[in-house]
Chain A
Amino acid sequence: ETGVTQTPRHLVMGMTNKKSLKCEQHLGHNAMYWYKQSAKKPLELMFVYSLEERVENNSVPSRFSPECPNSSHLFLHLHTLQPEDSALYLCASSQGARPVDTQYFGPGTRLTVL
């Protein structure tokens, strides 16, 4: 595996379900990110982890819960979501969390909440 991988690629869940999204980076990076991309809207930064420490929680509802057990893995735990949470969820990683550090994106998880 190379780059940034995400599983699952597609997920359909009910509002009462609990599910998790997984991201893994094989680039030796130290920073990882979760973004949400809704139709016709800019990518929205949700969470940032640098050296496994959360450095940003961008006013995200508590029904989204991130976890970063090590510098290569990032999870997004989902519970009691709403239909408006349906979107493409993208994971990214970068060497560090500095302005010069380019972020590389995974393929995304297409989430549909019924």
Chain B
Amino acid sequence: QKEVEQNSGPLSVPEGAIASLNCTYSDRGSQSFFWYRQYSGKSPELIMFIYSNGDKEDGRFTAQLNKASQYVSLLIRDSQPSDSATYLCARTGDYKLSFGAGTTVTVRA
């Protein structure tokens, strides 16, 4: 079983819509969760992190964590063409960050 699983996509959404990305993880000892955005040919850049159950909002982004279900999601509101990228979900229980393979999002103008 993979440590972190994401749908590879592509997820295509129209401009202005909400993009919803899902991630599940296998290790119940996971403590911290991160969402990174990676543009083609570039390195990952941090969007958000979340430690506690519930929602965390930052601008157009909302991360949701449900530790009982071992599920973390990312919502992108008012999607823009510049949001087109691969989104990486990651978890850690110590210093070792385990990544999913990423979900590719395409925002249609």
Contact = CB atoms under 8 A, between A and B. Distances in A.
Interface in B36-95: 36, 42-46, 49, 51, 88, 90, 92-95
Interface residues of A, number: 27
B95 A42 contact: no
B21 to A, nearest CB: 15
Task: Select the residue from B2, B34, B92 with max chain A CB neighbours within 10 A.
Answer: B92
Interface stretch (A12-20, A43-51, A65-73, A77-85): A43-51
B25 interface: no
Contacts of B8: 40
Interface of A: 31, 33, 40-43, 45, 48, 50, 55-56, 58, 88, 90, 94, 97-108
Interface of B: 2, 4, 8, 31-32, 34, 36, 42-46, 49, 51, 88, 90, 92-102
Given A97-B95, A102-B49, 5 more contacts: A42-B98, A45-B96, A48-B95, A100-B31, A108-B42
